[in-house]
Amino acid sequence: MLVYILKRIVYIFCILAVMSVLIFAITQALPGNVARMILGEFATVDQIQAIEEKLRLNDPLPLQYWRWVSALLTGDLGDSLVMERPVAPLISLSLQRSAILAFMSLFCVASIGITLGVIAAVKHNRAPDYGISFFSYLGISVPEFFWGILIILFFARYLGWIPATGYVPLSEGFGTWLSHLIAPVATLTLTLLANISRMTRSSMLEELGTNYVTAARAKGLPERVVLFRHALRNALLPTITVLAVGVGWLFGGIVVVETVFAYPGMGRMLLFAIEHRDLPLIQAGILIITAIYSLSNLSADLLYAYLNPRIRYGRTIA
């Protein structure tokens, strides 16, 4: 097991190395020149040369890459070109805000999705099952940015229950802070919910048809115990895999949701950076998101191994 984890961590570093080369190559090989991007269209030749001197843009590319990477490794992410501040604190702040969104949504998706899936499986081919299937279908088919807009229109504009957009720091009160999170979390939850509930439903149905469930019922165990202690435990394994895939979707979803609700997180900052061609911010942002993505995939795999006694990575793979 330990060997497996170490292997995976080494692999993550390989991915980050490849990604760093890729990011650097793409951002350097772009049409047009960095100095001109910073200064705008009307820059004079002198100004461009001055900037190029300052940023040492005329050095050979491998040297520039090395300088960038070695700075990264010491924790120096560079300065934002547009905001003229160090990138690291900017990123860490927006990362925290995005993480709040991500964890709350994952929690909602897992708890609500699994509950709905179990209900649908228990009430198989009856009204609740059909109802849940119908709403799962809607959840999958309506794009998340449209869900966001529908939520704004109905709950914020029409009913006036929650603020439509924006973000308020926790220091201004728990209630207002939470009320700004409801809409984005609900949107993310809606789009991911369907996969979880469908997966739970189908694996739960499968488990309910097995002999051990019949045996447990025959023993006279209360239905609650049969459902949750026996069937659900085994039914959750495939659900966890789907949940791990959902984390990948969450990364895309967060970018969209932060745009719709004007929520100042990582996704919105990355979009801002791309719009303004703020290279250091783009480079650091993408690299960090890749790292988090790889780590979350690893933790999903480890969780799966931990929960499934039939898989022990140490023996089978390493």
Partner 1 sequence: MAEQLLNKDQTKVRPKRRRLPANLIVGGMIAGIVVFLSFLAPLLAPYPYDQMHVESLLQPPSAEFWFGTDEFGRDIFSRVLIGALPSLTMGILATGLSLLIGVPIGLAAGYNKGRIDEIVMRTMDLIMSFPPIILAMLIFAVTPPSIWKAAGAIGLVWVPVMVRVTRSVTLDLMQEEFIQAARARGEKVVYILIFEILPNAYPIIIVQASIRVTLAILLAGTLSFLGFGGQPPRSDWGLMISEARPFLDAAPWIAIAPGLAMSFTVIGVNLFGDGLRELFDPRLRGRGRS
Nearer to partner 1, 100 or 283 (CB): 283
Taking contact as CB under 8 A, which single stretch among the options 87-95, 100-108, 218-226, 254-262 is the one that binds partner 1? 254-262
Q: Is 115 in the site for partner 1 (CB under 8 A)?
A: no
The residue from 181, 263, 294, 301 that contacts partner 1 (CB under 8 A) is 294
Q: Pattern of binders to partner 1 over 145-164, x per CB under 8 A?
A: xx--xx-xx---x-------
Nearer to partner 1, 13 or 228 (CB): 13
For residues 223 and 122, the answer to whether their CB atoms sit within 8 Å is no
Residue with tokens 């929690």: 107
The residue from 144, 184, 226, 227 that contacts partner 1 (CB under 8 A) is 144
Count of positions on this chain that bind partner 1 (CB under 8 A)? 54
* 28-47 residues near partner 1, rule: CB under 8 A: 29-31
The residue from 143, 166, 169, 173 that contacts partner 1 (CB under 8 A) is 143
Q: Shortest distance, CB of residue 206 to partner 1, whole angstroms?
A: 9
Taking contact as CB under 8 A, which single stretch among the options 90-98, 175-183, 255-263, 304-312 is the one that binds partner 1? 255-263
Handedness of CA 164, 168, 172, 178 (dihedral sign): positive
Taking contact as CB under 8 A, which single stretch among the options 44-52, 170-178, 210-218, 247-255 is the one that binds partner 1? 247-255
Q: Which two tokens stand for residue 134?
A: 């119908």
For residues 37 and 52, the answer to whether their CB atoms sit within 8 Å is no
Q: Which of 145, 55, 82, 39 is nearest to 282 (CA)?
A: 82
> CB under 8 Å to 57, separation ≥6 — which residues?
33, 34, 35, 51, 64
Residue 16, classed as helix, strand or coil, is: helix
Q: Is 19 in the site for partner 1 (CB under 8 A)?
A: yes
- Residues 119-154: b if buried by 16+ CB within 10 A, e if exposed: bbbbeeeeeebeebbeebeebeeeebeebbeebbee
Q: Shortest distance, CB of residue 137 to partner 1, whole angstroms?
A: 7
The Cα 181–Cα 36 span in angstroms is: 39
Residue type, 17: A
The Cα 139–Cα 132 span in angstroms is: 10
Residues lying near partner 1 in the complex (CB under 8 A):
15, 18-19, 22-23, 26-27, 29-31, 136-138, 140-146, 149-150, 152-153, 157, 194-195, 198-199, 201-202, 242, 245, 248-249, 251-252, 255-256, 259-260, 270-271, 273-275, 277, 282, 286, 289-290, 293-294, 297
